[in-house]
Structure 1
Amino acid sequence: MESTTAQRRFPHVLAVAAAALLLGPLLLICSPSHAIEPLFDAHLHYRDTQAERFPPDAVARTLDENHIEAAIMMAPRASLIESLESSSQARIIPFLEIAQRLGRKMDWMYVEDLREQVEAILDRDAVAWRGIGELHIQADDRFAPSFEDLLELAVERNLWIVIHGDPAVIDHAYALQPEVRILWAHAGSYAYPSLVRDYLIRHPNMVIDVSMRNPRINPGGIIDADWFELFLDYPDRFLIGNDTFSLARWEHFTVLKDGTRDWLMQLPDNVARMIAWENGQRLFPAP
């Protein structure tokens, strides 16, 4: 069935490619998909070091100029979230970034009493944290007790977890906690469409953000045929994101976001709207 579907759709990919080559910049002006509004960004970070040089009003202006009307914001402190909420018209969905607070990027899962520390933060903060992450974790660390504790905590408290990790980490998480809701950052460590497709089938509670993957999805400005098919087959399982892990990515936010718009405009309008906005609104509704 999938091969038949691919044969039926592949001419559309060729048509998109031909149009992009012939029309070039005119596509950016004429395509209705290019003006997709609004946008939901599912992968932003805001940290103390960034706030020193890129204050909340600059963040608010950046989100507004790029028509980001809602965003998952990963931050280590409630005060950072509160400063953004008071400055920005965008709806902020706060995620607790524990690696920036309770450990280091790659060893947080070995911090003693991690679950207890996270629970204390969740109970104390006025911010209503909606998730935990981004958690960088490699396959060899997937059996760490603190990681398993966080999975259990996420299910108990109805929290999402953002995982930046190997496929084996995802499999282990769902073997332990089938109900856990995972946002798999960057389409995983090995962002190959065939592998991503397999994992979407395996784990129906998982959704994917494709932040940092514009070069793979849209090489040379023409959407990759396998990614195109994947988006059409699973339009309700993908989200976009800019991944502002560094100050430079806040400063070049518009250029990065325009790179995402370039491939969104090559999708059918209904699919583009789902990935750009509707999936985020459905999965992370306003309280």
Structure 2
Amino acid sequence: MRFERLIFLAALGLAALVLMSWPGRAQAQGVVQGGAQDAAAMPIFDAHMHYNQEPNPFFSLDKVIEVFDRNNVKGILATSRPNKGTHQLMQAQKDQKAPGLWVVPFIRPYRVRADIQTWFGDPLSIELIESEFKRGYYRGIGEFHLYGKSAWNPIVKKIVDFAVANDLYLHAHADEEALLILFEHNPKAKIIWAHTGFSTPPARVAELLDKYPMLWGELSYRGGITRGSALTPEWRDLFARYSDRFLLGSDTWINERWASYDDIMGEYRSWLKQLPREQAQRIAWGNAARLFGAAKVD
């Protein structure tokens, strides 16, 4: 009996050693440790950035570039009110005043803030979009605000069709009803959903991502992703299934968002490090690179 017990204990110890050296276990440990380390340093693409200038920008262009550099933000989806702010960012990129910063410009159909309430019924919105598009560098239209049945306006359909015809993305701050109408206008539309519905239940977000393969969720102001500092199980599962469908954003629509930019990016990194490395990299940078065609950034 004593001999058999010794054999049993030896076998148990051998099994433990095998489990400790199992590649899957080591890989899992590496994902957690590597994910935390990588998330603190990985580049971020800010997919919801406004450099508004109505009447004047909060930060000078040099200061804005400094903020991006400090947070390792290597790319921005730039929209501005008026579009002058985006022109300045594009010129800075051209003149190499922002080394390593990749600017993806979108046309915003607003001249002043009040246009938020009227743009979808104003023929001048189409004229503005068509005029700006002639600059030759735009990749999308938005961010624009649209709610409910206002999306049925014929001017909105013309803009959606214009976007599809010219291979442009739409950056829509929209409720679910308006979002669905945009796809009704043209099922070939490519839509970045600003704030991913703010509070739309994760299960419903998953249904929409399944139904519309040309829909992506942008996560600024998005509620429910974390509880305390920890990712919720619902969002962890959503990112596991759709890590190729989400983007990060700052939404610097008011001066306070610029003042808290470091905190905004820090909050993203705090939950990115809780994801497997590959998922975190897609959300932070890879999805934008795939959508808009950036070179690889280490």
Q: TM-score, normalized by length of structure 2?
A: 0.80
Distance apart, 1:116 and its partner CA: 3.2
Distance apart, 1:153 and its partner CA: 0.5
Q: 1:28 to 1:254 in 2, by over 3 A?
A: farther
Query: Deviation digits for residues 47-93 of structure 1, max 9, x if unmatched?
Result: 11375331100100000000011110112445422422413231111
Select the residue among 262, 284, 297 that pairs with 1:276. 284
Distance apart, 1:223 and its partner CA: 0.5
Q: RMSD between aligned alpha carbons?
A: 2.3
Q: 1:84 to 1:117 in 2, by over 3 A?
A: closer
- Listed as ranges, the matches of 1:71-110 within 5 Å are 71-85=76-90, 86=92, 87-89=97-99, 90-101=101-112, 104-110=115-121
Q: 1:34 to 1:120 in 2, by over 3 A?
A: closer
- Structure 2 match to 1:49: 54
Q: 1:241 to 1:176 in 2, by over 3 A?
A: same
Distance apart, 1:94 and its partner CA: 0.7
Q: 1:274 to 1:227 in 2, by over 3 A?
A: same
Distance apart, 1:175 and its partner CA: 1.9
Is it true that 1:147 corresponds to 2:156 in the alignment?
yes
Select the residue among 259, 262, 270 that pairs with 1:262. 270
Instruction: Give the conservation status (yes or no) of the 8 Å contact 1:207–1:237.
Output: yes
Equivalent position SS for 2:170: strand
Select the residue among 125, 128, 139 that pairs with 1:114. 125
- Listed as ranges, the matches of 1:1-287 within 5 Å are 31-49=36-54, 51-85=56-90, 86=92, 87-89=97-99, 90-101=101-112, 104-123=115-134, 125=135, 128-213=137-222, 215-286=223-294
Q: Given residue 131 of structure 2, which amino acid in structure 1 is its aligned partner?
A: A
Structure 2 residue ranges without an equivalent (≥5): 1-31
Instruction: Give the conservation status (yes or no) of the 8 Å contact 2:216–2:246.
Output: yes
Identity of aligned residues (%): 28
Distance apart, 1:111 and its partner CA: 0.7
Query: Deviation digits for residues 24-62 of structure 1, max 9, x if unmatched?
Result: xxx999922432411111110111137533110010000
Instruction: Give the conservation status (yes or no) of the 8 Å contact 2:198–2:221.
Output: no
Structure 1 residue ranges without an equivalent (≥5): 1-26
Q: 1:30 to 1:179 in 2, by over 3 A?
A: closer
Give the Cα–Cα distance (whole angstroms) in 2 for the partners of residues 102 and 255 of structure 1. Answer: 26
Q: 1:264 to 1:100 in 2, by over 3 A?
A: farther
- Structure 1 match to 2:4: none
Give the Cα–Cα distance (whole angstroms) in 2 for the partners of residues 276 and 80 of structure 1. Answer: 24
Q: Given residue 157 of structure 1, which amino acid in structure 2 is its aligned partner?
A: N
Q: How many residues align?
A: 258
Give the Cα–Cα distance (whole angstroms) in 1 for the partners of residues 173 and 87 of structure 2. Answer: 25
Bigger Rg over Cα: 2
Q: Given residue 49 of structure 1, which amino acid in structure 2 is its aligned partner?
A: E
Q: TM-score, normalized by length of structure 1?
A: 0.83
